[in-house]
Amino acid sequence: MGTKTLAALPCWAVAAALAAALVGCSKQDAAPVGGPSGALAGDLKVDTELQKKIQEQLLDAKPGTVVEIPAGSYHFDRGLSLRANGVTIRGAGKDKTILSFKDQTSGPEGLIVYASDFTLEGLTIEDSKGDGVKINDGENITVRGVRVRWTGGPKTSNGPYGIYPVKTKNVLIEDSEAWGAADAGIYVGQSRDVIVRRCHAEQNVAGIEIENTINADVYDNVATGNTGGILVFNMPNLTQHGYGTRVYKNKAVKNNLGNFGAKGTAVASVPAGSGIVVNSNSKVEIFDNDIADNATANVIVSSYYSTGYFTAGGTEPDYDPYPRAIYVLDNRFSGGGDSPDGLDLKTLKTVMFGINGRFPDVVWDGYRDEKRANVAEERICVKNGKSEVLNADGPNKYKDPKVDTKSHDCELPRLPAVELKGRSA
């Protein structure tokens, strides 16, 4: 394959354009109201008695308690909380049991849980002031058939996270939905042994995000109409570093929504038009996905140095800013890369690939650990038919970006499937 460079473009233009590509975006695309229509548009059933009853059940709960929420649309003005292990909260179905927190006055989350052996299933949570569902520090967590959405469409004032387990173990999220989160619709952070499957994420900044998590399988999901479809990140100054994520059999399509994340947050750096993004993570496999029509790039692999997100105190000494052992193989790519975010980036695309051209399916910022550059098992490998790789040459201030597919024509050991304790597939 021929090598394409930017020798004809001034260095300052190259740097500005590629920084825009790999750091952030500014546009805000119009979007419809988040998610399928519910029964809450003009006919809220305000039920303080049910709210009180449910919270009392959660406060009195013991292992084995099942809290049933009947079908109906209910308006709660206070968040719900649970601190007992072994509890199930069950609605009549996500289209039947709908809890609105639109006028919430107490507690930022719709539901906050500090518990293990917890199951949440069969309901919708709408318009919480903060996160929709947050689950802290527990083991053996199941979220099944749950929808979290903000009905006013994508807005920075929406809650940051839809479904949000953090510092958890043995986690299953399945058959669930997230719409309109100002950070991530389905987010799993600082956790271990996780499966996210058969979910739908739309109109979020990040559709599905796996951050600082060890051993995660993300499969059979649909991420569309987000700023970024599926993200696998490692951020500094958290309790653990993540590795070992498999992203497969998903549809990451048309994630071109303008970034509406709050300024200064890590997710605000995600370019509109990103299909799957790996940042500073290691041992990540991206395979057997349908990835299409993501206007900046179908796959972006980057380092902490390209995020534009820096903490005042710096990073901890053992934080690894580089992506390592990233394997992209056997995906079905189409479209994408043809209308990157921002005028500078559009100019860059035109200079390198022509007015009717497009960026390659895989865009890498070019940052790597030079001391370990020749360690075979830490390479970025792409075995994906005719898919090309754009090396943006970030370490040299983007002076000489080029298509460099040959350097990434390699293979890596395959990762094992995630097995959840005490559960069948």
pLDDT score, position 253: 98
Q: What is the pLDDT of residues 217-256, one digit of tens each?
A: 999 999 999 999 999 999 999 999 999 999 999 999 999 9
Residue 310 binned pLDDT confidence (cut-offs 50, 70, 90): confident
C-alpha–C-alpha distance, residues 117 and 167, integer Å:
14
Q: What percent of the chain has pLDDT over 90?
A: 77
Mean pLDDT of all residues belonging to the chain: 89
DSSP-derived letter for residue 418 is P
Residue 29 binned pLDDT confidence (cut-offs 50, 70, 90): very low
Domain ranges of the chain: 11-34+150-408
pLDDT score, position 75: 94
Q: Tell whether the model's pLDDT for residue 31 goes beyond 60.
A: no
Specify whether the CB–CB gap between 178 and 34 falls below 8 A: no
Specify whether the CB–CB gap between 247 and 284 falls below 8 A: yes
Q: Tell whether the model's pLDDT for residue 396 goes beyond 60.
A: yes
Element housing 164 (H / E)? strand 161-166
Widest CA span of the chain, in angstroms? 70
C-alpha–C-alpha distance, residues 268 and 307, integer Å:
9
Q: What would the two tokens of residue 364 be?
A: 């890498």
Q: Tell whether the model's pLDDT for residue 187 goes beyond 60.
A: yes
Q: What is the pLDDT of residues 334-388, one digit of tens each?
A: 999 999 886 766 777 888 899 999 999 999 999 999 999 989 999 999 999 999 9
Find the helix packing angle between 343-353 and 11-23, rounded to 10°: 110
DSSP 256-288: -PPP-PPTTSGGGGSPSSEEEEEES-EEEEEES
Within 8 A by CB and 6+ apart from 130, the residues are 108, 109, 159, 160
Specify whether the CB–CB gap between 386 and 403 falls below 8 A: no
Element housing 67 (H / E)? strand 66-68
Q: What is the pLDDT of residues 89-147, one digit of tens each?
A: 999 999 999 999 998 998 899 999 999 999 999 999 999 999 999 999 999 999 999 99
* Mean pLDDT in residue range 287-299: 97
Q: Tell whether the model's pLDDT for residue 35 goes beyond 60.
A: no
